[in-house]
Amino acid sequence: MDKVFSYDLFVSYSTHNRELAEYIVSRIEARGARCFIAPRDLATGMEYASEIVRGIDSSWAVLLIFSSDSDRSAYVLREINSAVSRNKTIIPLRIENFLPSGAMEFYLGPTHWLDAFPEVLDVHLEQILSIVEGLRARYVPQERSAVRVAGPEVLDIPDAIARLGITYRQISMRAIELDFLIVSPGRETQESEIEQTYEEWKGITDYSDAGGVLVERDEMIGYCDFYPLGEEAYAQLMRGKVLVQPDMIELYELGGTFCGYIAMMAVDPALVSQERFLLLFDWMVGRIRRWREKGIFFDKIGAEAYAPLLEKFLKRFGFVCVGKNADGGRLYETSMRRLAENAVFCRRYADAQELARGE
pLDDT recorded at residue 108: 84
- What distance in Å separates the CA atoms of residue 128 and residue 291, rounded to the nearest whole number? 53
pLDDT recorded at residue 185: 60
For 41-62, the pLDDT digits (tens) are: 998 888 889 999 999 999 999 9
Output 195 or 228, whichever has higher pLDDT.
228
Closest CA to 130 of 83, 60, 79: 60
For 154-166, the pLDDT digits (tens) are: 999 999 999 999 9
Pairing assessment for the beta strands 114-115 and 153-156 based on DSSP bridges: unpaired
**Quick one: pLDDT band at residue 190, thresholds 50, 70, 90?**
very low
Q: Phi/psi at 245 (nearest 5 deg)?
A: -125, 155
pLDDT recorded at residue 41: 95
Provide CB contacts within 8 A for 69, sequence distance 6+: 14, 16, 17, 191
Contacts 24+ apart (CB under 8 A), 311-319: 313/274, 313/277, 313/278, 313/281, 316/344, 317/281, 317/342, 317/344, 317/345, 318/342, 318/344, 318/345
Percent of the chain whose pLDDT exceeds 90: 70
Written in H, E and C, the secondary structure of the chain is CCCCCCEEEEEECCHHHHHHHHHHHHHHHCCCCCEECCCCCCCCCCCHHHHHHHHHHCEEEEEEEECHHHHHEHHHHHHHHHHHHCCCEEEEEECCCCCCCHHHHHHHCCCCCEECCCCCCHHHHHHHHHHHHHHHHHCCCCCCCCCCCCCCEEEEHHHHHHHHCCCHHHHHHHHHHHHHHHHCCCCCCCCCECCCCHHHHHCCHHHHHHEEEEEECCEEEEEEEEEEECHHHHHHHHCCCCCCCHHHECCHHHCEEEEEEEEEEEECHHHCCHHHHHHHHHHHHHHHHHHHHCCEEEEEEEEEECCHHHHHHHHHCCCEEEEECCCCCEEEEEEHHHHHHCHHHHHHCCCHHHHHCCC
**Quick one: pLDDT band at residue 199, thresholds 50, 70, 90?**
low
- What distance in Å separates the CA atoms of residue 176 and residue 222, rounded to the nearest whole number? 11
Pairing assessment for the beta strands 330-335 and 59-66 based on DSSP bridges: unpaired
pLDDT recorded at residue 30: 96
For 295-339, the pLDDT digits (tens) are: 999 999 999 999 999 999 999 999 999 999 988 899 999 999 999
- Structural domains in the chain, CATH included, are 7-138 (3.40.50.10140), 153-356 (3.40.630.30)
- What distance in Å separates the CA atoms of residue 337 and residue 298, rounded to the nearest whole number? 10
Residue 65 and residue 18 in contact, taking contact as beta carbons nearer than 8 Å: no
What's this model's pTM, rounded to 2 decimal places?
Answer: 0.88
Residue 90 reports pLDDT greater than 90: yes
Residue 189 reports pLDDT greater than 70: no
